[in-house]
Structure 1
């Protein structure tokens, strides 16, 4: 088995992230540092370590949906020692990781799993999985601004893919509106950047769905296990 697939199968990270870990020189096989992505291992006898800690193939596969609160990071740790979403699932024995990310200030739906192949599949750009957000934005977008948003916007050095946006509530007096936004890209802080590009910066942002997966009745800070049907749906995405 290739080393990046092995690391992903152990539930450590997605296959793409596993490649980064390998290239950073953090992986040892039988005591020797491995930085070749094409390196193959024998999972029955080779000893694989990341940062000096031995890893092994994940047993039971776990799939959960977390209702992420604001003020949590979706990485394991950061330089500011902020709380991680993994702190909210610490009672799960298996090591799970998020599929994609939500930024520190954004709340809502986050899928976590130890299924590295599914993580790789759902984060690959060719799989256009809609992500649905509810955003409270400053002001009330005009029809022209909504059209610009849907057609794609130039942000930094790229143009966003076509998206969907509709106003579901507006307050003329307080000068804000609530918009439902659907995108299938996953660039860093993309929804916030797109709203800023049409001059309606985000005040609050919450993700409510990923494809057909929703939070259902999961309260903020809590999680639920995906049903068999939900897992099959995610695996069927092409």
Structure 2
């Protein structure tokens, strides 16, 4: 059996969020997370990106290339009483048994880090780590990960003693016991991920993996270039210095500015506190991306199950 490892690149899936015109006041302008920016002649801003921070943001957002195999002898991944690899792939939604055999024969399948090209290989679906074209394949059909567009006024908990609307109210039709990854305040909106995969959730929340998050933010006042540089350099907060990875001023009009910002910080209300510290209170905040997963055109209060490619890029981002 030839077990030489093959590298390959992967593309980020999905498109980003379209910006919308900032609100004229501190009130809310609806639950839509995107839309065309206002056509009135607002002053446009620029891009500000940090050095190492921008690099870490790119690494966190992009699907990761599998590492090249070492020169050590290949390991035999065959499990005598296991299930044929092509059957496992077919059951995972990779196509028919015949199509799965072609994937193997064409050198597109790895099992536990080993390239497999022979059709007689059997694996244990409960323990095998399988990649196809460099993307991790979820073999456990009981595990699911979904994207949710959290509306304004909904709290990021499964139960609220104050009786406020919760994330649980939006997924009552799901049979799985899901828990959310990260939080959004009640007065913020946008992308949340929910899953019943405990290992995936733990890694997405762990600072080690520096999963970048992207936000559309409307703030009071005109944001000058020095403010962008200050946010990149670091802002002193009561719980330590916080830095943004990228700041892009999209539009400035009528005393308000709309920006796209990227950061991997996960502290409570971090975006709002950073802008407050530089003198620009936030009037609207929408999260549009978590790592490689975009909010896209998902409507407020709706969910969608991550597809195989999206889930694979997300798992690769946290080295699963």
| Residue-by-residue CA offset, 1:217-236 (whole Å, 9 max, x unaligned) | 21111011101011111111
- Runs of 5+ consecutive residues of structure 1 not aligned to the other structure: 1-57
**Distance in 2 between residues matched to 1:81 and 1:112, nearest whole Å:** 21
| TM-score computed with the length of structure 2 as normaliser | 0.54
Match of residue 140 from structure 1: 222
| Residue-by-residue CA offset, 1:96-137 (whole Å, 9 max, x unaligned) | 011111111110011100001000001001111110000010
Match of residue 16 from structure 1: none
1:168 touches 1:180 (CA, 8 Å); kept in 2? yes
Q: CA deviation at 1:162?
A: 4.1
Q: CA deviation at 1:71?
A: 0.4
**Distance in 2 between residues matched to 1:77 and 1:86, nearest whole Å:** 7
SS of residue matched to 1:126: helix
| Residue-by-residue CA offset, 1:17-68 (whole Å, 9 max, x unaligned) | xxxxxxxxxxxxxxxxxxxxxxxxxxxxxxxxxxxxxxxxx97111100011
Match of residue 199 from structure 1: 279
**Distance in 2 between residues matched to 1:216 and 1:90, nearest whole Å:** 23
- Runs of 5+ consecutive residues of structure 2 not aligned to the other structure: 1-139
SS of residue matched to 1:149: helix
Q: CA deviation at 1:76?
A: 1.6
| TM-score computed with the length of structure 1 as normaliser | 0.73
- How large is the Cα RMSD of the aligned pairs? 1.3
Match of residue 161 from structure 2: 79
Aligned partner (choices 182, 200, 207) of residue 262 of structure 2: 182
Match of residue 188 from structure 2: 106
1:109 touches 1:209 (CA, 8 Å); kept in 2? yes
**Distance in 1 between residues matched to 2:211 and 2:263, nearest whole Å:** 8
Q: Does 1:237 align with 2:308?
A: no
Aligned partner (choices 128, 137, 142) of residue 60 of structure 1: 142
Match of residue 130 from structure 1: 212
Match of residue 117 from structure 1: 199
Aligned partner (choices 160, 169, 181) of residue 242 of structure 2: 160
SS of residue matched to 2:147: strand
How many residue pairs were aligned? Answer: 179
2:291 touches 2:317 (CA, 8 Å); kept in 1? no
Q: CA deviation at 1:216?
A: 2.1
- Kindly report structure 1 stretches of 4+ aligned residues shifted beyond 6 Å: none
Aligned partner (choices 90, 94, 103) of residue 172 of structure 2: 90
Q: Does 1:211 align with 2:291?
A: yes
2:244 touches 2:262 (CA, 8 Å); kept in 1? no
Larger radius of gyration: 2
**Distance in 1 between residues matched to 2:169 and 2:246, nearest whole Å:** 33
Highest RCO, 1 vs 2 (Cα 8 Å, sep ≥ 6): 2
**Distance in 1 between residues matched to 2:300 and 2:288, nearest whole Å:** 12
SS of residue matched to 2:286: strand
1:152 touches 1:163 (CA, 8 Å); kept in 2? no
